[in-house]
Amino acid sequence: MKRSGLFILVTLITLGCFAQEYEIKLKIHGVSDTVVYLGHHFGEKKLVIDTTTINSDGYAVFSGNKKLNKGIYLIVMPSRNMTYFEILIGDQQKFSVETDTSNFVKTMKIKGSKENTVFNQYQMVMAEIQNGRMNLDKQYQAAKDNPEEQKRIADQMNEQYSERKKITENFISQNQGSFFSKILLSMKEPEVPDAPVDEDGNVTEPDFRYKYYKAHFWDYIDWSESGLLRTPVFEPKLDYYFDKMVVPAPDSLIPEAEKIIQLAYDSGDSLMFQYVASHLLYKFETSDIMGYDAIFVDIAEKWYLNGKAFWADSALMSKLVPKVKNLSRTLIGDPAIELKRMQTIDERYMSLSQVDADYTILVFYEPGCGHCKKEIPVLMQQYRDSLKAMNVKVFAVYTQYDRPEWEEFVKDKDLNEEGWINVWDGPIPHSGFKEAYNIIMTPSVFILDRNKKIIGKRIGMESIKSLIDFENSIKDKESGK
């Protein structure tokens, strides 16, 4: 008896260790004797996390001894050109799905998962609405020469949109607290009230709708639900906010990034915080828009360099820290770093601060650079054509230490003009310009105002005059001209 009892105890412990936490049974009519993948959305990506085989009768099982994270998952069939259908992984993770390749959604039968049953019902209703919308779109285009008919169709479209919202609201109210309801809520847009008016009915706040919509844009997001990251909804919403809802300027984007990352941080969901901070850091680090490096620097300093980004290992930080240090020296709006006693090509000495001009173009180049050979003469031509007359001067820094090469380039490209100052860091290097201005590629251009404040950088030669014209227009407005 003792031996038998010990055997039962060991068996129970063993079964407990390997108990299946998720089990998804599949029956797919039209697919057999191949493999199928289990994956999920993650922003714009689709990640595969499991693989299994489907037998000759179309049966397959995905199972594991660790619960799946919540999200919208994909059953992918590589044998059918990576076609997939979606299922929902919420609290119920042991269920069965039967469907047919003729129409995965319409033929789907689910057992053991109420959320997937509701999800499938929603997909079917939305598919019908989408088909109806496509038909209305075709009718609208066909009636392009009939305004009255187009108006009638447009009214139908509005009715259809209202019906779609009503249906979605019903699904939310009938499934409150469920993961699926959180997904639907994350798709919901703020209801904007009418703008305030005066006694005569005139709108008193012209931008009221925009301000209200922006202020309530995130009202329906549950920041503590990281399952939203495994849907195709959250990442586009995040990007839309920063691309369309926020004024595209560092002064506006920096506090908005701070606010959104703080919301994720305060939610207590570590993955949500990690995702939002990482996504925005990368978004602004890789942006080609001038001045957006200031947003990258701000996010890095506030969330990474102070240790809050728990996922940032030594390898990441070894790259991030010097990059932030280098970029932070030359942010738009900051004073340009002084370059002292640079030697001119006629062997005089001149510092950057000594350039007397309304605007200074600080350009770094080297003769061996293909782009420099093309772009520096373009800059000289623009300087002669228009910039010189606008009280602009050029502080052209040769980045190497071969004087004959430099002299030959200046002569060959005819880089001699009043107000165009050719300098180098030789014959004995001393200025540290490469570190000061983070010169990792040439040509590198910085536009400075009269006070030597950076107003533009790393822009094409063709954009320099437009930037200076813009700055002058601002000055004219401020002076009342």
Q: How distant, in Å, are the alpha carbons of 29, 97, 393, 405, 408 from that of 366?
A: 66, 65, 19, 9, 12
Please check whether residue 303 is in contact with residue 425, taking contact to mean a CB–CB distance below 8 angstroms.
no
* Residue 192 domain-assigned (yes or no): no
Same domain, 124 and 108: no
Same domain, 370 and 320: no
Q: Taking Cα atoms as reference points, which of 328, 248, 255, 246 lies closest to residue 293?
A: 328
**Helix residue spans in 188-344 (DSSP H):** 208-215, 234-240, 250-266, 270-285, 293-299, 314-327
Last residue of a domain, one of 90, 112, 134: 112
* Residue 6 domain-assigned (yes or no): no
Whole-number pLDDT of residue 11 = 45
Query: Residue 420 maps to which CATH number?
Result: 3.40.30.10
Last residue of a domain, one of 272, 307, 330: 330
Same domain, 324 and 401: no
Same domain, 218 and 252: yes
Contacts of 404 (CB under 8 A, 6+ apart): none
Spans in the chain with pLDDT lower than 50:
1-4, 6-17
Same domain, 106 and 127: no
* Residue 65 domain-assigned (yes or no): yes
Whole-number pLDDT of residue 481 = 67
Domain span including residue 137:
120-187
Whole-number pLDDT of residue 476 = 82
Question: What's the count of helices (H) and strands (E) in the chain, helices before strands?
Answer: 14, 15
Domain total in the chain: 4
How far is residue 65's CA from residue 14's CA, in Å, rounded to a whole number?
12
Whole-number pLDDT of residue 4 = 47
Model pTM? 0.86
Q: Taking Cα atoms as reference points, which of 170, 28, 169 lies closest to residue 87?
A: 28
What are the DSSP calls for 91-160, one per residue? S--EEEEEEETT-TTTT-EEES-HHHHHHHHHHHHHHHHHHHHHHHHHHHHHTTT-HHHHHHHHHHHHHH
My answer on whether omega of the bond before 190 falls inside 30° of 0, hence cis, is no
Give me 23's structure tokens.
Answer: 């089990």
**Distance, first Cα to last Cα, the chain:** 103
How far is residue 180's CA from residue 187's CA, in Å, rounded to a whole number?
11
Same domain, 348 and 473: yes
* Residue 366 domain-assigned (yes or no): yes
Whole-number pLDDT of residue 18 = 53
Same domain, 326 and 403: no
Whole-number pLDDT of residue 2 = 44
* Residue 9 domain-assigned (yes or no): no
Same domain, 259 and 159: no
Last residue of a domain, one of 78, 112, 146: 112
Same domain, 351 and 459: yes
Largest CA distance in the chain: 106
Q: How many CA atoms lie within 13 A of 181 on its CB side?
A: 12
Radius of gyration of the chain (CA): 31
Same domain, 383 and 468: yes
* Residue 196 domain-assigned (yes or no): no
Cβ count within 10 A of residue 241: 15
Same domain, 377 and 270: no
Same domain, 141 and 225: no
* Residue 295 domain-assigned (yes or no): yes
- Helix or strand (DSSP H, E) at 13: helix 2-17
* Residue 336 domain-assigned (yes or no): no
Please check whether residue 164 is in contact with residue 171, taking contact to mean a CB–CB distance below 8 angstroms.
no
How far is residue 380's CA from residue 393's CA, in Å, rounded to a whole number?
11
